[in-house]
Structure 1
């Protein structure tokens, strides 16, 4: 039996005892609730996850496995820069789970009283230089990005990948002059793959996901800006049991394997 089913069944069985809802009993057996169970219980069979853009590949896989192991369950995924997601949740967006690419944005929601419980760190990531597969600028180090004529793209400062970029600049004494600053790491990668930039700073996981579309150039100073990824249930969630079940999968052995295969490090 899949660990996804075991973990979710255990969590939701506890919800059945606590809430005494027949609809939840149907969920744990993988059966869709009847029409008589009403809209409230039908809504409880779905979970909306707001996650950092760099998590798109592994979270899409985890969500698919989560749904397959529990027929009738729907996971809705919303990916964007962590700071953008914080703004959306602060403005009342109906998120059940928030997974950030850094601790700072999670702390902002926690301080605002918008997070339920204590966030769990589940992964780490570091920056790398992404260049077109042919590397026309012949770059080999972080300081090369400051050379005249090099079109560099980075993330905005408030975005985790942008904050990490600032830390590396300080650590190396290098000042970059980017041609653009993007709201998410995937937008930076898009500038590289489209030929609009000679290089960009993205996560190692993004380069791995892009395959042969780009080439990654590692640099030792990246360890000066390791990003830790936390995940938590949003305080306004009406589907906390299912949200906690999804988080349990992300932080469990199956989630760790998917994240590891995508290039993420352990927290």
Structure 2
């Protein structure tokens, strides 16, 4: 009787194994996503300048709604760091930098870039501007702790350009890897002032105050977007880059304070 029970159990197991395998095989690679209709889609990885952090999160949501089956993920950092990642072969599908110089230096790694937006600089100070900063010239005051982005970072390069043109000698207390780090130093009270993009200061409304830089003294940052030649999803990456230049995307960028290209 015991041998009969063992044989029956073995037979039941043999019959159930194929069914379990058929039901449980739902594996996919890291580059696919479920479009919601049971079909597998694509996950795009976009390397983007830190100053695009807030608006690109909204842009990604908007794109996914009108492109079912495509999921967009972002990796934000200073443009110089993104360029280093591209050169090292980090898997990604598209790149958006905060300057054309960085993008041009990667011409062998990208498709043809398209400028999707522009930006300008502003001075960020502690909320209420307790040190009474009035203009760029004030940033040279010895009683101020000023923080700038490092010179290899686009916003750091733009900052030094406008300061030099106004003959303002600033000795920063620190040089940060991206614009968000500059903003953080000011908002946390670790610095009295710093130069950031207008859009970043707007995103930190209520945490910092701003002092406008006149157009005649300002610099214009251009944001080019391009596909990466190493992308495993070139068609989908191209579609996303084209969408970034669309009226819908420009509307989102404009609402965040970016200027039209």
Q: TM-score, normalised by structure 2?
A: 0.84
Q: Report what 1:81 is aligned to.
A: 78
CA RMSD of aligned residues (A): 1.6
Distance in 1 of aligned mates of 2:121 and 2:68: 37
Q: Does 1:114 align with 2:114?
A: no
Alignment map for 1:1-267 (pairs within 5 Å): 31-33=37-39, 42=40, 45-110=42-107, 113-116=108-111, 118-220=112-214, 223-267=217-261
TM-score by length of 1: 0.82
Give, in angstroms, the shift of residue 224 of structure 1: 4.0
Greater shift in the superposed pair: 244-253 or 79-88: 244-253
Bigger fraction of residues in helix: 1
Moved more, 237-246 or 76-85: 237-246
Which residue of 1 is the match for residue 16 of structure 2? none
Larger Rg belongs to:
2
Q: Which blocks of at least 5 consecutive residues in structure 2 are unaligned?
A: 1-32
Which ranges of structure 1 fall in alignment gaps of 5 or more residues? 1-26, 34-41
After superposition, give the CA deviation of every residue in 1:93-115 in whole Å (9 maximum; x if it has no partner). 111110010001001111xx101
For 1:253 and 1:70, the matched residues in 2 are separated by 16
Distance in 1 (CA, whole Å) between partners of 2:146 and 2:135 is 13
Residue in 1 that maps onto 2:19: none
| Corresponding pairs, count | 228
